[in-house]
Amino acid sequence: MRFVLEKRPAPSRLMLGLTPILAVIATMLAGGVMFWALGANPVEAIRTIFVDPLFDPTFASYSRPQLLVKAAPLILIAIGLSLGFRAGIWNIGAEGQYIIGAVVGAGVGLAFYPTESRLVFPAMVLAGAFGGWVWAMIPALLKTRLGTNEILVSLMLVYVAENILASVASGLLKNPEGRGFPGSRNFARDYPAASNLELLPGTGMHWGVIAAFIAVIAAYVLMTRHKMGFAIRLTGEAPRAARFAGVNPTRLVVFSLGMAGALAGMAGLFEVSGPAGQISIDFGSGYGFTAIIVAFLGRLHPIGILLAGLLMALTYIGGELAQLMLGMPAAAIQLFQGMLLFFLLAMDVFANYRIRLKTREAA
């Protein structure tokens, strides 16, 4: 007797919906084993990560607002990435687009310092989106003009962006009144007109959160009602049919990479002008990479990405809490997040195959 995988005639819709949940459960189990091996009580560790940030009387007042603060950039970036991913265009460099968006947007804001005008912040948002868009246009143009691989180019540009960040943090954008320390002026403290403040105290709600919600709705409408969304889906499912239908592959690459870049750039700007407060060498926090997990965990569907973004934010906050309370190493938390993507991809097998127990046939 042995188990065999048997291909399903069509992917199971039930399993497609169920696998994210199964993946979360499997991650909790495997993560629990890992925490146990690290010397912690697995149940307590899982509770610290998933439950305490929301319900613990001591931490919840701090953690709950953090949920939106962390989820907003993840959702914003993942929505942008999902457009390309649905069409088979793999932008792996959202982290770089996020950083450049922050640098350009912050640069525009700092250029106006100390002008107090209502127009400064909107100008920064546009500049942030523009910065991310430009950074994404590099792989887009190289792909459409020269046929380069967008995965490699966008990924390598992350490291270029990190070096630009390090350079401007200690050079061009350095705070002239910062006593020589690297890092720009702090928007929240020094420049209220250019800062992304909490809109409702105690909720974590800031402009980036609003932008993320708008992005979710806009992406939903785009994918279900608009020709561009149809072109994206068609290209992902049947590239030859897309060409026959008249979809212009060049325009599709430019559009989806551009949107991803602009949204990632905006996310960077909202972060630098709000939660982070300033351009600093360590501004890049890995949101751009984590958003890839969020996009897939959310099945590349806008509503799914919204939920996945919140879940992933929870693991960030809960992970910090676990570091603090249980002395877990930071790497363990990253491993935990990585497991989530691993299990999700592994579970996908069951959407396309079913397991059958097979008795040996008589030869």
Partner 1 sequence: MTDALLTLDGLTKAYPGVVANDAVSFAIQPGEVHALLGENGAGKSTLVKTIYGLVKPDAGKMFLHGAPFMPANPRAARAAGVAMVFQHFSLFDALTVAENVALGMDDPPGQGQLGARIREVSEAYGLPLDPDRIVGELSAGERQRVEIVRCLLQNPRLLIMDEPTSVLTPQEVDILFKTLRKLAAEGTSILYISHKLEEIRSLCEHATVLRLGQVVATCDPREKTARDLAEMMVGSALHVPEREGGETGDMLLEVKRLSLPAPGGFGTPLRDVSLSVLSGEILGIGGVAGNGQDELLAALSGERPAPSGSILLRQRDISRLRPNARRALGLLAAPEERLGHAAAPEMSLTENALLTGDVRERLSSRGFIRWGKAREFAARVIEAFDVRTPGPDTAAGALSGGNLQKFVIGREILQKPDVFVVNQPTWGVDASAAAAIRQALLDLAQTGAGVVVISQDLDELMEIADHFTALNEGRLAPIRPARGLTIEEIGLMMGGAHDMDVADEAAIAEVLA
Q: Which of 50, 112, 220, 230 binds partner 1 (CB under 8 A)?
A: 230
Q: Which of 61, 243, 338, 355 binds partner 1 (CB under 8 A)?
A: 243
Q: Which of 126, 228, 310, 326 binds partner 1 (CB under 8 A)?
A: 228
Binding of residue 218 to partner 1 (CB under 8 A):
no
Binding of residue 246 to partner 1 (CB under 8 A):
yes
Binding of residue 147 to partner 1 (CB under 8 A):
no
**CA of 140: how far to CAs of 54, 59, 197, 277, in Å?**
41, 44, 34, 31
Binding of residue 324 to partner 1 (CB under 8 A):
no
CB atoms within 10 A of CB 51: 13
Q: Which of 5, 51, 227, 330 binds partner 1 (CB under 8 A)?
A: 227
CB atoms within 10 A of CB 224: 11
Cβ proximity to partner 1: between 167 and 248 the closer is: 248
Measured distance CA(235)–CA(309) in Å, rounded: 26
Measured distance CA(81)–CA(267) in Å, rounded: 13
Binding of residue 251 to partner 1 (CB under 8 A):
no
**CA of 281: how far to CAs of 62, 125, 163, 168, 184, in Å?**
26, 21, 9, 9, 10
Query: Residues in contact with partner 1, total (CB under 8 A)?
Result: 24
**Closest Cα partner for 165 from 248, 103, 233?**
103
Cβ proximity to partner 1: between 2 and 118 the closer is: 2
Cβ proximity to partner 1: between 11 and 182 the closer is: 11
Binding of residue 244 to partner 1 (CB under 8 A):
yes
**Per-residue b or e along 30-42, where b marks 16 or more CB atoms closer than 10 Å to that residue's CB:** bbbebbeeeebeb
Burial (CB count within 10 angstroms: exposed 0-12, middle 13-18, buried 19+), residue 298? buried
Binding of residue 223 to partner 1 (CB under 8 A):
no
Q: Which stretch of DSSP H or E encloses residue 2?
A: strand 2-7
Cβ proximity to partner 1: between 134 and 218 the closer is: 218
Q: Which of 210, 226, 338, 345 binds partner 1 (CB under 8 A)?
A: 226
Q: Which of 1, 2, 7, 179 binds partner 1 (CB under 8 A)?
A: 7
Stretch that binds partner 1, among 95-103, 230-238, 268-276, 327-335 (CB under 8 A): 230-238
Binding of residue 301 to partner 1 (CB under 8 A):
no
CA triplet 136, 242, 256: central angle to 5 degrees? 15
Q: Which of 10, 14, 200, 357 binds partner 1 (CB under 8 A)?
A: 10
Binding of residue 210 to partner 1 (CB under 8 A):
no
Answer whether 263's CB lies under 8 Å from 132's CB: yes
Measured distance CA(280)–CA(216) in Å, rounded: 29
Stretch that binds partner 1, among 145-153, 192-200, 236-244, 269-277 (CB under 8 A): 236-244
Cβ proximity to partner 1: between 189 and 225 the closer is: 225
Coil, strand or helix: which one is 108?
helix
Measured distance CA(206)–CA(12) in Å, rounded: 39
Q: Which amino acid is at 302?
A: P
Q: Which of 5, 33, 51, 245 binds partner 1 (CB under 8 A)?
A: 245
Asked if omega into 114 is within 30° of 0 (cis), the reply is: yes
Cβ proximity to partner 1: between 5 and 25 the closer is: 5
Cβ proximity to partner 1: between 222 and 291 the closer is: 222
Answer whether 94's CB lies under 8 Å from 77's CB: yes
We find the least distance from the C-beta atom of residue 354 to partner 1, in angstroms, to be 9
Binding of residue 72 to partner 1 (CB under 8 A):
no
We find the least distance from the C-beta atom of residue 150 to partner 1, in angstroms, to be 19
Answer whether 52's CB lies under 8 Å from 326's CB: no
Binding of residue 355 to partner 1 (CB under 8 A):
no
Query: Interface with partner 1 by CB under 8 A: which residues?
Result: 6-10, 225-228, 230, 233-234, 237-238, 240-246, 248, 361, 363
